[in-house]
Amino acid sequence: DVKVTQSSRYLVKRTGEKVFLECVQDMDHENMFWYRQDPGLGLRLIYFSYDVKMKEKGDIPEGYSVSREKKERFSLILESASTNQTSMYLCASSLSLGVETQYFGPGTRLLVL
Amino acid sequence: SQKIEQNSEALNIQEGKTATLTCNYTNYSPAYLQWYRQDPGRGPVFLLLIRENEKEKRKERLKVTFDTTLKQSLFHITASQPADSATYLCALVGSGYSTLTFGKGTMLLVSP
């Protein structure tokens, strides 16, 4: 059974803190994605990676960075958390870009105070 | 600019009826369209994929149509059940096989 796991379901951080969100997939997928989901705005792509050490900006990369040192793991980093980064963060993976089904993790609800 | 529109108002229907959800798009030429289901506090789950040269796709009680002339996809759930209550998202894939762009989703509420 396919599985995408995220390191935390809920996270509370202070403004200015460095925040790491981790995602692991066990399907040997090439591609991994980070989205944020906000009421009224839907799912928005932050970054994606199509190979180890490769990354591409999505629609809203500002204030975020990513790291993919191993195929199964994709990390989202908030260098200096701000209150407007309070959101639900969803990680996904797929076999290839575009066509293929994306498998999502359960999400991390981040609150920045 | 490219736009994907799904009805922002929740759709309320009675158990046993057919639910029909709409996904409209503009300034887009998608090669594929996907539908996902999302339950509160959880990640989306893939349901169906339909290609631009397919008019209709079925899976059990689910049916998707794709009209590239109208720039519209319809998602039907027949014999709906309370367990079908969720938010349904459509997602488009561009002809360049790039990433998915998601609509904002429509909430479906099926009452017993």
- pLDDT above 90 covers a percentage of chain A that reads 87
pLDDT digits (tens, 9 = 90+) for A13-28: 999 999 999 999 999 9
CB B12 within 8 A of CB B107: no
CB B62 within 8 A of CB B76: yes
Position B25 scores a pLDDT of 93
Average pLDDT over residues A57-82: 96
Give strand ranges (E) for A1-113: 4-6, 10-13, 19-25, 31-38, 42-51, 54-57, 64-70, 73-78, 87-94, 103-104, 108-112
- Residues of B at the A interface (Cβ-Cβ below 8 Å)? 31-32, 34, 41-46, 49, 89, 91, 93-94, 96-105
Position B97 scores a pLDDT of 57
- Residues of A at the B interface (Cβ-Cβ below 8 Å)? 4, 33, 40-43, 45, 48, 58, 90, 92, 96-99, 101-107, 109
Distance from CA of B4 to the nearest CA of A (A): 11
Distance CA B13, CA B24 (A): 21
Distance from CA of A81 to the nearest CA of B (A): 22
